[in-house]
Amino acid sequence: MEKLITEGDLSLLKDKNIAVIGYGNQGSYQALIMRDNGLNVIIGNIRDEYAKKAEKDGFKVYDIPEAFERADVILMLIPDEIAPEIYKSVENIVNRKEGLILDFASEYNVAFGFISPPKTSDVIMVAPRMIGEGELLLYKQGKGYPVFLGVKNDYSGKAWEYAKALAKGIGAIGKPGGIAVRSSFEEEALLDLLSEHTWAPILVASIKAYFDIVTEKYGASPEAAILELYASGKLAKIARAMADIGIFKQMKFHSTTSQYGQFTRAEKYYDILKKLLKMKQKKMEWRFCKGMEPRANCW
C-alpha cells in the first residue's frame, strides 16, 4: 500500500451509524465535519456541558453505552487518562458486536495495552495532526490537513479502506493540502510521547528562560520581551513557513544576522539536545506506563 494517501471512498460509511465518543476539542469538530459530509452521526457523552453543547449543535446525544449499542463505527475521542475506564464499561458490548469499526485518534492506550479490542472488530487509527478548530477552519476553506492512518486489526478485510474513508469524512483528505501518512499505533504513540517530553517542553523552557534573563538581568520591559518572543505572531509565521517550504528554505526570510545566529548556535545546542533525546528514548519501553495514572507522570 502507498505510504502517502490523498483519497478515500466516503460511500463506505454512508449507510453506517457513526458514534463520536466525547464532544471536546477533536470530537466536536470531527462530528460537525462528518455531518456536513452527509454521514449519520450521534454523540456518546456523559451528561455535562459538552453534552449540552452537542445538543445545541443539533446532535442526538446518548449515554456512552447506548451510543456503542447504536453504532456501526465508533470514534474514541476522549482523554487518554479516562479512556480505559470508559472502554471497560462498554467492553461487553464491543465483544458481542461482530464487525464493529473502532477508531482511535490517540494510540496511547492501545499501543501500551490499556485497551485491548477484540479480534472481531476492525481497529483503525485516524489521527489528525491538527487541532480541532483548525480542522473545521480548513474544511470551510475547502482545504484538507495532515493525518496519520493505521490498522491494528483487520477483521473485515476492509479496515484500511474504512480508515481512508473516515479520513475523508472528517475533512482530512480528498481536498487540496490533505495528506494521510500510513503509520502504526506504536509509531504514533512513540512520536506523540517523545514530542510531549522533549522538543515541546524545551521550547516552553527556552521562552521562559529568555524572558527571565532579559527582564531580570538586562532590564528589558516584560511587554517588549513578550512581543519579541511570541505576542507579535512572528513565531507562528516562522512555523507556518517551515510547514510550507521547509525549515532551512524559510531561512531566506530572515536577516543575515538572524541566519548567522541561528545556524552557529543551533550547531552548539544540537549535541546537548540529542543526548537528551537519547536519554528519553532509552526509557521508552512499551511497559513503562503500567499502572500509570495520569499519563503525565509516565516518565
The three-state DSSP-derived secondary structure of 236-295 is HHHHHHHHHHCCCHHHHHCCHHHHHHHHHHHHHHHHHHHHHHHHHHHHCCCCCCCCCCCH
Tell me the CATH class for 4-184.
alpha beta
Average pLDDT for 23-35: 97
* Cα–Cα distance for residue pair 83/77, rounded to 1 Å: 9
Check whether 154 is labelled as a binding-site residue. Answer: no
Check whether 107 is labelled as a binding-site residue. Answer: no
pLDDT band per the 50, 70, 90 thresholds, residue 294: very low
Q: What is the pLDDT of residue 277?
A: 73
Q: CATH 1.20.120: which residues of the chain?
A: 194-297
pLDDT digits (tens, 9 = 90+) for 142-201: 999 999 999 999 999 999 999 999 999 999 999 999 999 999 999 999 898 888 888 899
Strand partners, 124: 103, 151
Q: What is the pLDDT of residue 106?
A: 93
pLDDT band per the 50, 70, 90 thresholds, residue 281: low
Right CATH for 194-297 from 1.20.120, 1.20.1250, 1.10.3470, 1.10.3860: 1.20.120
pLDDT digits (tens, 9 = 90+) for 40-88: 999 999 999 999 999 999 999 999 999 999 999 999 999 999 999 999 9
Q: CATH 3.40.50.720: which residues of the chain?
A: 4-184
Q: Which residue reads 475521542 in cell numbers?
A: 77
| pTM exceeds 0.75 | yes
* Cα–Cα distance for residue pair 281/215, rounded to 1 Å: 35
Radius of gyration of the chain (CA): 22
| pLDDT value at 291 more than 80 | no
**Residue 49 carries which DSSP code?**
H
